Structure 1
Amino acid sequence: MTDRKISLEELSQHQEAEDAWMAINSVVWNVTGFAGIHPGGPDIILEYIGRDGSDQYNSVHSSGLAARNFETSQRIGVLDAPTKSNTDADRDNRNPKLDRELPGLDEIINLHDLEDAAEKSLNERSWAYLSGATDGSITKNRNCSIFEEVYLRPRVARPVGSADTRVKILGDEYDVPIFNAPASLMMLAHPDAEIALAKGLAASGSTIVIPTLASYSTDEIVEALPKGHPFFFQLYTSPDKSVLDKIIDTVVRLQPRAIFVTVDLPDFGKREANERYERKVAKQKKDSSKTKQKSNQARSAGVAIDSDLSWSKIQWLRERTNLPIFVKGIQCAEDALQAWKIGCQGIYISNHGGRAADTAQPTLLTLAEIRLRYPELLEQMDVFIDGGVRRGTDVLKAICLGAKGVCLGRPFFYALMYGQDGVQYAMQILKDELVTAMKLCGVARLSEAHPGLLNTRALLNQVDYGTEFRSKL
């Protein structure tokens, strides 16, 4: 069947919320009702209805994502006008997210160097999103600095001619306990986004945690992995049951090793760096009618996340998927205990990299709190943690306190500026640092890591034991 040709004039006649068309890479779609369930929030959809939204779409999505997510019945026709597309064939070798040329990878010595390169080289939009956090970024900064307050207590005269960094999680063995913290809009760092990340992590003996709000479809990301390679999936629960069911059906079909249900973001915080950038863009357009709309775009994505998520809903997900469930966003010992009580096989300690509640305690402190108050949980569940990990010593400290896997968010965004090579390079830096830290502490294999290798006085002084102001839960 031949597609009907749609002129720009006809397209412009469908720009009402109840009658909305949009052109994406030459294809005209009926997007009526989509604004309310769009994972990136309604504002950007409402801005481009009745228009060609290809440039905006291609800046954060793969060219084929729309066709995979819209129904065939929503396809109206093809645009009868010149349009731009972001297909693989149209790309050149230069990363379009960069304003300045990157230093060579041989100039990158540690993950801090990657961040410096990102700040100097990424365009303003990408840097604002990647580097920002909620409010004053207090939690973001403390996630990092608290690792510096925990000192190593090396043991000597131990045979450490080699160091074994392997870890087993849910029956699968990985060469390193290092994974990505799932994050959206990875295309802001590189056009290959999660495809490059998946390939780089798998080649490094790890695997990807696929985000719900990925730039590529889940199918495309899984296809980028070696056949049968394990992976995890991070789930935002949509308030729209039909949308949630569609996501779950896709995920269950692909069989991840576990689903990480995000619970720490029932509402989007005030992302000040994003809002400053959006207001600047609106002012440059000199369009006061859009200034208010654009200034809130950083938070508008929250409408696609279920703010009424409950423990009973998490139990329902266990039954609905019949897959291991990890609760992602644990920020206190009481909730870690609750996750265990409802039968979750693991927890993921996270405060969204400081993008959830600002002044929430840093994640390493939460891990210490769980170890002190409910140490048995660390034996009965697999524990992941993210937030502030920048060194191999940070990885070792988290493992000593009971974590099985350590996840990194922003550093992998920065590594992605170099594509798959950058991801593998960052992983090699961390693995080398971890091996060195293990040997210098007398640890031949990660199973030998324990809290006695740490001076945790700084953590003990901050842990809430729940005795003075006892929790009701």
Structure 2
Amino acid sequence: MRYSLITATLASGVFAARPFLNEPDTGIVDALGASFPVGSLPDIKNMNYTYYRNGAGGEWSYRNNLEVYNRYRFKPRMMVDITKVQDSLPTSILGHNFSAPFYISPCARADYAHPEAEINLVKGAAAAGILYIPSLYSHLPMETIAENAAENQTLFAQLYIPNNDTQTQTYFDRAEKAGYKALVWTIDSPGDASRQRAARFDVGSSNVELTRNTWEDLEKYRSMTKLPIILKGVQTAAVAKAAIEHKVPAIVLSNHGGRNLDGSPSALEVAIEMYQEDPTMFQKIEVYADGGVRYGSDALRLLALGVRAVGIGRPFMYANAFGQPGVEKVAQILKGELIGDSANLGVPDLKKIDAEVVNWTPNGWYS
């Protein structure tokens, strides 16, 4: 262990960068021991873990997604009555009510963590009262996932729209028939990704064709479905403005979890760019964001700029190794952190949080 740390430090000097410690310490090894108890977890192979963990290229975008939040320090307000902040936790997403301003982002192949796959995610989301957006590349068909939803549970369907109108119409019809309430069109993956960590374990990308995504296509797709179409993968203020001009109901600021283009901006950086150019954009369109959110304090920085809801991906996928209870536990932790962190920040109402609670000048170790 000591040798590894010394090697990492020397390597960082060669590349003029500090060592990256990979992930926040969850304490799971301390809780369960170096070897997980026999029978308590499915047989999770390196390939399965790598599928969830990997990022594009040298994984700089993945790394930046995690580290960007702590480049911006809070400005806590004291002597504020925060005793009812928990009452402000519920929110609405496209008019649908949920218990908290975060949701389960679309992630493929939940079966890599647990045999029940996406069933744990949809049931866990129902128990927590949060939105779940199944991936088009889920292990289970979208119909099976919807069949396992609770009564009146709201689900959105994530789609990669192919260069084939007949196949696209089929996706739209299936989502409508299954009861999904919105379509989340992923526009940040028009090409294949260079995922070098994944290649070591022969884990490829599900989307390998070059796909046409244009505003003209959006107009065409609107005539093919009754469902609202959300754009996922907005990475500049200019595209956000164009979405407003094209009357898109909602956008997701996202760089695909750092999995597609190394050097792409984090959702927080895009939200800052939007706020600096025109803070009223957040009132003209519903803005959601995902990428690297691991703590309630991360989510608060996004909410402070005007983001309505925050997507969480990998934490839920990893927690699915423990089945539905693991999914519910992540939601419970995040709700608790949002309440506690808001209180410590001096924000008595999450719906009234504003950009003034953060110093938006980058500073510190992470700058």
Range of TM-score over shorter length: 0.7 to 0.9
| Partner amino acid, structure 2, of 1:144 | L
Which residue is 1:155 aligned to? 77
Instruction: Please report how far the alpha carbon of residue 120 of structure 1 lies from its aligned counterpart in structure 2 after TM superposition.
Output: 7.5
In structure 2, what is the equivalent of residue 419 of structure 1?
323
1:277 Cα deviation after fit = 1.1
After TM superposition, the score normalised by the length of structure 1 is 0.67
Structure 1: segments with no counterpart, 5+ residues: 1-109, 279-296, 460-473
Pick aligned residue for 2:223 from 299, 304, 319: 319
Question: Does the aligned pair in 1 maintain the 2:189–2:207 contact within 8 Å?
Answer: no
Higher CA-based Rg: 1
1:139 correspondence with 2:61: yes
1:365 and 2:269 are equivalent in the alignment: yes
Q: Which moved more, 1:360-369 or 1:252-261?
A: 252-261
2 CA distance for matches of 1:447 and 1:111?
30
1:395 aligns with 2:309: no
What displacement does 1:253 show?
Answer: 2.0
Residue 299 of structure 1: how far off its partner (Å): 4.2
Residue among 205, 208, 211 paired with 1:302: 208
Deviation at 1:341, TM superposition (A): 1.1
Alignment length (residue pairs): 330
The one-letter code matched in structure 2 to 1:338 is: A
| Alignment equivalent of 2:247, drawn from 313, 335, 343 | 343
- Shifted more, 347-356 versus 221-230: the winner is 221-230
Aligned equivalents of 2:73, 2:348: Cα separation in 1 = 19
Cα deviation code 1:69-114 (max 9, x no counterpart): xxxxxxxxxxxxxxxxxxxxxxxxxxxxxxxxxxxxxxxxx98346
Q: Counterpart in 1 of 2:15?
A: none
Q: 1:391 to 1:300 in 2, by over 3 A?
A: closer
**Higher mean C-alpha displacement, 209-218 vs 136-145:** 209-218
1:407 aligns with 2:298: no
The one-letter code of the counterpart of 1:436 is: G
Q: Which runs of 5+ in 2 are unaligned?
A: 1-23, 37-43
**Alpha-carbon distance in structure 2 between the residues aligned to 1:333 and 1:172:** 26
TM-score (norm 2): 0.85
Question: SS of the counterpart of 1:455?
Answer: coil
Secondary structure class of the residue paired with 2:325: helix
Runs of 4+ residues over 6 Å off in structure 1? none
Residue 85 of structure 1 is matched in structure 2 by none
Asked if structure 2 preserves the Cα contact closer than 8 Å seen for 1:438 and 1:444, the reply is yes
Q: Partner of 2:84: helix, strand, or coil?
A: coil
Cα shift at 1:309: 1.8
In structure 2, the CA distance between the partners of 1:347 and 1:446, relative to structure 1 (3 Å rule), is same
Within the candidate set 353, 356, 360, 1:452 is matched to: 356
Deviation at 1:242, TM superposition (A): 2.3
RMSD of aligned residue pairs (Cα, Å): 2.1
- The letter of the residue matching 1:324 is P
Quick one: higher RCO (CA 8 Å, sep 6+), 1 or 2?
2
Matched, 1:123 2:78: no
Q: Work out the CA distance in 1 between the residues paired with 2:123 and 2:110.
A: 14
Shift of 1:317: 1.8
